[in-house]
Structure formats: structure tokens, C-alpha cells
Chains A and B, each alone.
Chain A
Amino acid sequence: MSRRFTPKVVTANRLREGDVVYLTADDRWTLVHGEAELIEDEAHAQLRLLHANAQGRLIVGAYLADAKPGPNGPEPTHFREEFRTRGPSNYHHGKQADLDHV
């Protein structure tokens, strides 16, 4: 049995601030995981990663992270990616604070 492709999102850190961002279907970088493009096909995933890697003036360290569909868009599946959607757990710092004001 061939392994099924686990859906992915493209994620990276913003070059200037370091914030965690996700690539949207319309080629924006968003802070919100739910706005990311959920990629269900391996070949498309590689293309999107290439596209991301060409944006070195905006972002750093793009990679594909496992995700799954949810009611409000893609959701992370691993706890590391879940922490990356928010920020640290010891202070209300990072995106969890920044997104309060959006």
C-alpha cells in the first residue's frame, strides 16, 4: 500500500521580525495558521516550497509542516507547530499578543 500524502502548509519566519508566518493560496504571508493554503498533493507542495524559497527578502527557513483541515481552515497536527501558531507558554508574548490587536 502506498503511503498517503499528509496534507501540508508552507511555513517560515519573517526576515525582519522573526515572526512565524504561513503561505496563503494567494501568495501572501499570514500570521494566522487558518489562513494558510492546505496542500494536499506532494508535487504541488514542492512547487509551493520552491516559490517560498524564492522569497528570501521576506522570509527565512521555509519548510513544509503537517496540517489537517479544520472548521476555521488548516490546523497543525504536531505540538511544535501548535506552539508556533501562538508563541511561548510562559508569557503572553509573540503572536498570541500581536493577534489580540488585529
Chain B
Amino acid sequence: MYDYTDFDERFVRERVAQFSQQVERRLDGSLTEEEFRPLRLMNGLYLQLHAYMLRVAIPYGTLNAAKMRQLAMIGARWDKGYGHWTTRQNIQFNWPKLPDVPAILTALADVGMHAIQTSGNTVRNVTADHFAGAAADEIADPRAYAELLRQWSTDHPEFQFLPRKFKIAITGAVHDRAVIRAHDIGLQVVKNERGETGFRVLVGGGLGRTPLIGMVVRDFLPEADLLPYVEAVLSVYNVLGRRDNKYKARIKITLHETGKEEITRLIEERFEELRPLFGGADQALLEDIRDAFAPPAFRNAPVTAFDDFYKSDPVFRAWADTNLAAHKNDQYAIVTISVKEQGKTPGDMTSAQMELVADLAEKFGHDDIRISHEQNVILPHIHKGDLPALHAALVQGGIATANVGLISDIIACPGMDYCALATARSIPVAQEIAVRFKELDLEHEIGPLKIKISGCINACGHHHVGHIGILGLDRAGVENYQITLGGSGAEDAHIGDKTGPGFAYDQVVPAVERIVRAYLAERDGPGESFLDAFRRLGMEPFKAALYETGDAKDAA
């Protein structure tokens, strides 16, 4: 785990001290809300529908037991005993009271955490593949680069007032688990034909009201050029990006308005100017950082306990089949703890469950914990021999749901249950879909299927890249849900296609059921996933199932 430097520590403590005074001055009336609002947003504090919300960054989704315990403590002491994992590898607390926020930020600083740059037109939390450093298919651990980017972008004087927020994601594997193609900058660690490490660089991806897949601007950027190149992208964007219209301010629009060729030329030109200025200090820093991400001391021991349980215990087997992923050390597995129990709120974890995860990470998991953009929690390094004991403990704690990657493993944004920008609810839609397919006992038969739900056009729930995407809208004062099919956030990234007219709140679950039944009827055997079937069949059979066989008034 990377530990903060003295500089980081001082910077974070100073910000907490400043903000504590600002809160005091707001409470005693010396600051107006107009003056205070930008200050609280700089510190991750939003005002939502029913309360404040504090957004805390989890850099590249990595935690250890001490940090997790502190989040559990904060949830128990200042919130309502839980926290919400988000698609940007942050945690959100939904019920902090304004006078308590300085104490919460102090508690975070005690474990090297903060809420800086989780809001505003800055470089946001750099996200990474949640299997980083563990995945069998990885070329290199992307987190060292993510940390380098974090240090460079934190409080960077030139980039505190960008035209709009700026999101960077990085993966070290070909299989994209970090949705890099839907970020302002997406980075993929690659090797060139000489075996040297570098990056494929994508620019201009993003969701929201104008969803676009990022374009490749460099097939191979040498490792040493990372910071000057990213700085060149930001610096071109900082000048060209539109500040007159916030809907046209993201770099994806700049890219489309300027043209890929011209923008690439400008980036390369700026890059040539910047490169000599970096002078190697960044590379020395990278070497230091890399040490902090060295792999843990893997144990060499028999895995017979796993094989025995796998053969004899069907509950364990079902969990192992969905919740484990291949580790680079074949005695090990990557464990995804599902935070998607059917009927519960996607991504909400209680303080007691966080404590349990912290204990298990220490006992079995080399003190390493990850938060995924899919709102689940990961123990990346578990020896297979320990899996039965780990599973038993998760069952005890109520977090052994065996559904990772299945239809009930839904991403849902807070929607109108919390978010002030929402046009409709998303959480209850997710709850009802998950419960319905559990009742039907169809989840495992359906196989891999990603449903993603947003409560407004901002697309925090990634609905455009869901195999089934659901977008909640307000149509003349009534909740109405638009469905898209065939989206993907992986290496085959694609924006889903609209099925047609939207559905009333109580018609969404039946609509999803008709889509899924059409898939089951048409698929080329269980080996053909929903996404593959959709790509082969196109929209027609699904449209027919949605709008023709059903009662016409369903599709209001």
C-alpha cells in the first residue's frame, strides 16, 4: 500500500484546518451560502435532497484494513451505520451534519484519506482496474502510474479551474475492467514490439448527455512520457475547452468540435514543449512509488481444501463459480464480495460489514482491499486453501451473495432517493429487478448480463454502457424509464441503442423480463451471452417482445 508523503499529510491537514474555519464562519453567518458553496464542494461536501453528502476519494480503488475500519467508524458515528460505494471508486456518506464534517475530515486524514478534488472542475480521483496487481491477464500493475498521476494532479495550480471536471482511468490488462473508453483520458498499459512498456492513450470518452467512446490518440506512448503527455492533453483542453456552455465543456466535445487530427497535432506540439521540462524527476518518483506496489509475499501451500469444498459444498461452489477471478499466481484467487444482495441497495455496505472485510483482509488477504466501479468490494489476493474459511465468514456476515456479473449485480446511481439532480428513482428499480429474477430462479441460467441504471441524463450509473441500460426521466411530472440495449463498457465499448418509447415506473421490471425471455428463447445455447446474442440478432426480436406481444399501454 502506498503511504502518503509528509507533503501530502501537511497539505491534507492544512485543508482540513481551513475548511473547519470555513464551516464555523458559515454557521455563525459570516459566510453566505454563495461564498461557502464552492468551498464545501472543493472538500467533497454536497447538499442533496434530504441531507448533505460527503464524497471521499479512494485513489485507484485501493484500501487497507485500517482505512476500511475508519470508514466503518465514520459510518457508525456520523452517518446511519453505512456507506455507499460509487462507480468512480469513491465512498459517499449520505447523512453527515454540517457541524460534524470537520471532525469527519480529521478522522479521514488520520488514515491518509480525504475528499479533495472529488468535486469541481479539477482532475478527479484517478480510477484503475480493481483487479490491479492480481489479475492473471495483466501486463503491469497500473496503480503505480495512477499514484504518479494523483500526486501530479493534486493541487496542480494550472488545473484547478478547468473548463469542466476531468476523469482519468487506467488499466494494465487488455480486458478493460476500468471503463477507460468512457473517460476523458483512458490509459491502457501495453508493450511494443521491442518489449518496452508504454501506454495506449484514448481521449474524449464520456457519458452524460452526450455519450461518446474515447478515441485513440497514441497507440504507444513510452512509459517515461506519461506526465508530459497527460499534461499536454490537459493544457490544450484548458485553452480550447468551452467555458460558455457547461454542456459543451467536456473534452469529448472539444475533441469533436476541433477534430481529432487538429487536436492530436496541438497535443503533440505542446508535448514537445513540455517534455524537456520534466527532467527525469517524475521517473525517479515513479521508481519509489513502484516499490510500494510490490506484490505481497505469496504463500506456497496446498489448495486441497478448495478442491474438497468445491466438490462437496454446492453453496460454496455456486459462490466460487461467480465471485472468483483468475489470479496471476495459480494458488491464489481474486475474490469479489458482492454488495448486491437481491432486494438491498446496490453498493451500500454497513459499518459492521466493513469491519468484517477489514478483519478478513488482514487474516487472509495480505491487507489489500479494492472497491470496484461496479460497486463491489474485492479481496485481490486470497490463497485458494483459505477460500472455504473466508466464504464461511462472509456467509456469517451476510455478504456471500453469489451473483457477480449476473443480472442482479446491478449498478445504480443514488437517483431521486438522494440526488438533487435526479429526474427519477433508480435504487428501487434495481431492487425490484434483482428480487424478481431471484424469485424466478433464472439468474444463473441467464448468465453474464450487466444492467446499469441512472436517475438522470448525467449517467452516473453508466446506463449507456450497460448490456441493458435504464435511464429514469421525468415526463410531464411522471417517472418514465428509457431502455437501451447492447451497450458495453469493456474493451468492446459501445453506447447502447434505445429500444423505443419509455416505460412507466411499474412497467420497468416486466419490460426487463420480456427482454430477458426473448434472449433465452433466441440464444444459440447457454454459451451465447446476452450481449453476443444482441449483437447477432439486432434490436428487432427485443423490440417485438417489448412493444408487440405486451399490452400496448405498457409502453406509454
Contacts and interface: CB of A to CB of B under 8 A. Distances in A.
B478 A79 contact: yes
Given A19-B50, A20-B49, A90 B427 contact: yes
Interface of B: 26-29, 32-33, 47-52, 80, 94-95, 97-99, 345, 416-418, 422, 425, 427-428, 431, 474, 477-479
Contacts of B431: 90
A84 B420 CA distance: 10
Interface in A22-54: none
Contacts of B80: 91, 93
B97 A18 contact: yes
Given A56-B32, A78-B477, A79-B477, A18 B47 contact: yes
A75 to B, nearest CB: 14
A77 B476 CA distance: 12
Q: With a 10 A CB-CB cut-off, give which of A17, A18, A60, A93 has the most chain B CB atoms.
A: A18
Contacts of A84: 49-50
Nearest to A87: B50
Given A89-B428, A93-B50, A93-B95, 6 more contacts: A16-B99, A56-B32, A79-B416, A80-B416, A83-B425, A93-B94
Contact of B417 (A19, A57, A60, A90): A90
Contact of B51 (A17, A57, A89): A17
A61 interface: yes
A88 B50 contact: yes
A19 B51 contact: yes
Chain A interface category by residue count: 20 to 34
Contacts of B427: 88-90
Contacts of A88: 50, 417-418, 427
Contacts of B97: 16-18
A56 B29 contact: yes
Nearest to B430: A90
Contact of A56 (B33, B94, B99, B479): B33
Contacts of A78: 477
Contact of A60 (B29, B47, B416, B418): B47
Contacts of A83: 49, 416-417, 425
Contacts of B428: 89-90
B29 A18 contact: no
Interface string A69-80: 000000001111
Contacts of B479: 79
6 contacts: A16-B98, A20-B49, A78-B477, A80-B422, A83-B417, A89-B427
Nearest to B412: A90
Interface of A: 13, 15-20, 56-57, 60-61, 77-80, 83-84, 87-91, 93-95
A87 B418 CA distance: 8
B99 A94 contact: no
B408 to A, nearest CB: 15
A73 B32 CA distance: 32
A66 to B, nearest CB: 9
Contacts of A79: 416, 474, 477-479
B27 A16 contact: yes
Given A79-B477, A88-B418, A95 B50 contact: yes
B133 to A, nearest CB: 34
Contacts of B29: 56-57
A17 B100 CA distance: 10
Q: With a 10 A CB-CB cut-off, give which of B49, B50, B95 has the most chain A CB atoms.
A: B50
Nearest to B431: A90
A74 to B, nearest CB: 17
Nearest to B418: A88
Contacts of B98: 15-18
A6 B474 CA distance: 19
A60 B431 CA distance: 32
Given A83-B417, A88-B418, A94 B50 contact: yes
B556 to A, nearest CB: 16
A72 B431 CA distance: 33
Contacts of A16: 27, 97-99
B33 A20 contact: no
B49 A60 contact: no
A83 B427 CA distance: 14
A18 B52 contact: yes
Given A61-B33, A79-B479, A90-B431, A18 B99 contact: no
A13 B417 contact: no
B50 A60 contact: no
Contacts of A90: 345, 417, 427-428, 431
A88 B95 CA distance: 11
Contacts of A15: 26-27, 98
A57 B345 CA distance: 34
Contacts of A60: 33, 47
Nearest to A16: B98
Nearest to B348: A90
A19 B418 CA distance: 12
Nearest to B420: A61
A90 B49 CA distance: 14
A87 B95 CA distance: 11
A18 B99 CA distance: 11
Contact of A18 (B33, B51, B416): B51
Contact of B425 (A57, A89, A91): A89
Nearest to B479: A79
B255 to A, nearest CB: 34
Contacts of A91: 80, 345
